[in-house]
Amino acid sequence: MIATELLIGGKPVPGEGDPLVVENPYTESELATVALPSPEQVDAAVAAARDAAKGWATTPAIERCELLHEVAARMRARTDELAELMTKEGGKPLVENSDEVGWTAAAFDYYAEMGRNFAGRVIPSIESTQLSLVLKEPMGVVACIVPWNYPLLLLSWKLAPALAAGNTVVAKPSELTPLSTLALAECFEHLPPGVVNLLAGDGRIGEAIVSDDRVDCVAFTGSVETGKKIAHICADRVARINLELGGKDPFIVCPDVAPAIDVAARGGAWAAFLNAGQVCTSAERFYVLEPVFDDYLQAFVDYTNSLVVGDPLDANTDIGPLVSARQRDRVAAQVDAAVAAGADVVTGGGPGGNGTGYFYAPTVVTGAPAETDLLREETFGPVAPLVRVKSLDEAIELANSTRFGLGANVYTKDLDTILRCMREIKAGTLWFNDPLTDNDAGPFGGMKQSGFGRELGQEGLEAFQETKHVHLETSLAPKEWWYPYGGGSSQPKGA
Ligand code: NAD
């Protein structure tokens, strides 16, 4: 049975607000209906998190560590059930969802250890009679607002470090994929009541949580437009924010990879079509150097045509449907606009699949003018526009030409090229010859309008910690720089 209850104050409770119908994007039929929280229930969830904050903050880090490892173990034990549910509500192929559950659990294991390993540092004091500490403390209540494309993973990148740092949480998944998040309630049963609260709903519920004065920090993943709204709301009350926003990642292919052009093409196609292109770090613009362009295009198209589009629950499926009709129509409109401006569709360019489902066939486009949205704004669909460039200079300039700076990929083994790309491309993550691989220990996030702050790694823990400097003097002797100044004062050392 599909769980549709909210988790408030440690108790599963049915929502008392409007119904939300969750659709299966492959069958286009209703999967479940979730009763959304009433305003009173949103209030109760924040209140529960607030009430639990002090107890959780003072729980010894080693105990929090053990409890978070237990969360990970419970998730792993339910991999098949969770992956199937995620596939039904989001349309991502089953294998990708099984992987996602594993990565989600891994984030809890990683931060369980990180949280008991770091609470600040000791810095040199001004005088030998003193001790100076930099304390890292919990912020209090953290709101986690996440999108639909990786509902559990992106939640874990917030939830796990926030809890490990001693915060309590109110989380809200996307209105398109609430079920897998609500199904997690059992994984948190062993935590003190109120430490994790799970709600559901659209932007209105999200805004109510984000606007609540009792919420100290908002960790958000989603579109640039929603991120800006949240930033405005939080700026007004100087609440902390961590924003992971959209991307338009470039993918540069250099001539020295000619002997392995098939590998670079497979890597490119995977980076463009993974989760039907609905990845914030999808490769969305390919800048291919002139000498290898034709061979790369041929290999890319051949490989694309070999991919299996179909039922996401089928183990042979490479690419499932998009998450919604709206998302598919947005992708189609962007491709159609590029074609109207002179681009050519080499393969794909229309509905894939066969029968029901919000499919868009994996598509390769050439000749799109640089000013089209297909090369400037996020597509979030299985579309790979390939652009022929004359030089590395041109490739780097184009790579840096949008308002985004999330990730970037380069295929080359040439050391000079690697160093130039590493230094000159404005992106939070740079992948050379291995697209899109995440590492829990490596900070993830965007430059420019792709975001603010970082998730994962040490940075991802500190994103949920306040910093306090403690200056401790052990001597009660008066200081020579105090009043009266008439006696010849001097400033403290280091001032
Ligand atoms: P979205 O911005 O529409 O929604 C994201 C979440 O915010 C949802 O839970 C939604 O209900 C909520 N929300 C909407 N309006 C809100 C408001 N006013 N106040 C508070 N919450 C509100 O994004 P989406 O369509 O769900 O996801 C796709 C976007 O997410 C893409 O732009 C993609 O690039 C981005 N994304 C970024 C990353 C990253 O790490 N940088 C990762 C995955 C997805």
**Annotation says 89 is catalytic:** no
At residue 134, the pLDDT reads 98
Phi, psi dihedral angles at 30 (to 5 degrees): -70, 135
Write the CA distances from 45 to 11, 57, 120, 296, 394, integer angstroms. Answer: 10, 18, 30, 53, 52
Q: Which atom of ligand 1 is nearest to the CA of 210?
A: 20
Give me ligand 1 centre to Cα 152, in Å: 14
pLDDT digits (tens, 9 = 90+) for 195-243: 999 999 999 999 999 999 999 999 999 999 999 999 999 999 999 999 9
- Which pair of tokens denotes residue 371? 């000013």
The answer to whether residue 376 scores a pLDDT higher than 60 is yes
C-alpha 68/C-alpha 467 separation (Å) is 23
DSSP state of 472: E
Q: Which of 51, 31, 20 is nearest to 197 (CA)?
A: 51
Pocket of ligand 1 contains residue 244 by CB under 6 Å: yes
**Choice from 22, 36, 92, 149 to test ligand 1 binding pocket (greatest atom count within 8 A of CB):** 149
Instruction: Quickly count: other Cβ atoms within 10 Å of residue 102's Cβ.
Output: 15
**What number is the average pLDDT over the span 476-487?**
92
Overall size of the chain counted in residues: 495
At residue 492, the pLDDT reads 63
Give me ligand 1 centre to Cα 98, in Å: 22
Would you place residue 354 in the very low, low, confident or very high pLDDT band (cuts 50, 70, 90)? confident
Sign for the CA dihedral angle at 38, 40, 44, 50 comes to positive
Pocket of ligand 1 contains residue 417 by CB under 6 Å: no
**Choice from 172, 174, 211, 329 to test ligand 1 binding pocket (greatest atom count within 8 A of CB):** 174
Would you place residue 7 in the very low, low, confident or very high pLDDT band (cuts 50, 70, 90)? very high
The beta-strand segments (E) located in 86-167 are 120-123, 130-138, 141-145
User: Omega into 291 within 30° of 0, i.e. cis?
Assistant: no
pLDDT digits (tens, 9 = 90+) for 79-90: 999 999 999 999
DSSP, collapsed to helix, strand or coil, labels residue 7 as: strand
**Annotation says 244 is catalytic:** yes
Give me ligand 1 centre to Cα 93, in Å: 21
At residue 494, the pLDDT reads 56
Give me ligand 1 centre to Cα 184, in Å: 20
Q: Which atom of ligand 1 is nearest to the CA of 209?
A: 20
Decide: 430 and 442 in contact? Cβ < 8 Å.
no
Annotated catalytic residue, options 96, 280, 378, 421: 280
Would you place residue 338 in the very low, low, confident or very high pLDDT band (cuts 50, 70, 90)? very high
pLDDT digits (tens, 9 = 90+) for 15-67: 999 999 999 999 999 999 999 999 999 999 999 999 999 999 999 999 999 99
At residue 238, the pLDDT reads 98
Please, what is the average pLDDT of the chain? 97
pLDDT digits (tens, 9 = 90+) for 418-437: 999 999 999 999 999 999 99
Q: What angle do CA 56, 58, 64 make, to 5 degrees?
A: 55
Write the CA distances from 366 to 42, 345, 369, 376, integer angstroms. Answer: 48, 7, 9, 15
pLDDT digits (tens, 9 = 90+) for 286-327: 999 999 999 999 999 999 999 999 999 999 999 999 999 999
**What number is the average pLDDT over the span 74-81?**
98
pLDDT digits (tens, 9 = 90+) for 120-140: 999 999 999 999 999 999 999
**Choice from 20, 226, 331 to test ligand 1 binding pocket (greatest atom count within 8 A of CB):** 226
At residue 352, the pLDDT reads 81
The beta-strand segments (E) located in 139-273 are 141-145, 168-172, 196-198, 217-221, 240-244, 249-253
Pocket of ligand 1 contains residue 207 by CB under 6 Å: yes
At residue 489, the pLDDT reads 55
Would you place residue 486 in the very low, low, confident or very high pLDDT band (cuts 50, 70, 90)? confident
Would you place residue 355 in the very low, low, confident or very high pLDDT band (cuts 50, 70, 90)? confident
Give me ligand 1 centre to Cα 450, in Å: 12
C-alpha 162/C-alpha 77 separation (Å) is 23
Q: Which residue do the tokens 């979030």 mark?
A: 380
Q: Which atom of ligand 1 is nearest to the CA of 150?
A: 43
Give me ligand 1 centre to Cα 158, in Å: 14
